[in-house]
Amino acid sequence: MFTGNREFNEIYEQYKNLVLKAAYMYSGDNSDVAEDITQETFLRLYVNFEELKNGNIPSWLFTTAKNEAINIKKKSGREIPIGEREDLDIHEPAGESAEERYLKNDADEETRRLNDRILSALIEKNRRWYDAVILVYYMDVPQTKAADILGMKTQALYTMLHRIKKWIRKKYSVEYEEMTKNK
């Protein structure tokens, strides 16, 4: 199957963080589930390597991790909202009042809800757009590597990202401006 598992080990070392990040994002930021998904993804790669080794392995790994996370969420019977985050324990400066902290937390929550609405709308509009945004802007995958994962040319990804930004601005700019005006 493998030459002393060298090929598999090289692929694992090169893409383990990418798969873990994808699993983490699609599992609703649950690190335990993300680790399970990563393990399952590489197990599937190991079993099916002979059929896959001439294909686009990074794309296959990303898609498999994403699908596994989606399946786990379906099986769990509960929905994990996109972008759900635990509140960070940030120590405020001593001079900040309770009212200022409340207003800041309220503004942060409003921003998070807008981000969630944008991502939800993006999924409905175009799943590839959503995947591109998650890879490039949330997972900080370099655009050339993201294009490879998505199975497209880098220039096509640049064009896609430009169209996505234009669509977001058109659809959400008024809401964003209203939200920032109140801050």
- Each domain of the chain, given as residue ranges in start order, spans 6-76, 98-181
Neighbours of 107 (CB within 10 A): 14
The answer to whether residue 131 scores a pLDDT higher than 60 is yes
Closest CA to 146 of 22, 39, 41, 40: 22
Residues in Cβ contact with 46 at an 8 Å cutoff, skipping those fewer than 6 apart:
8
CA distance 183 to 109: 12
pTM of the predicted structure, to 2 decimals: 0.52
pLDDT confidence of residue 95: 59
Q: What digits encode the pLDDT tens for the residues 52-111?
A: 767 778 888 888 888 888 888 777 665 445 555 454 444 444 556 676 766 666 667 777
User: What is the CA angle 30-31-32, rounded to 5?
Assistant: 95
pLDDT confidence of residue 25: 82
Give the domain 98-181 fold.
Arc Repressor Mutant, subunit A (1.10.10)
CA distance 83 to 107: 16
CATH class of the 6-76 domain in this structure = mainly alpha
pLDDT confidence of residue 83: 53
CA distance 106 to 40: 39
Q: Which two tokens stand for residue 55?
A: 């294909």
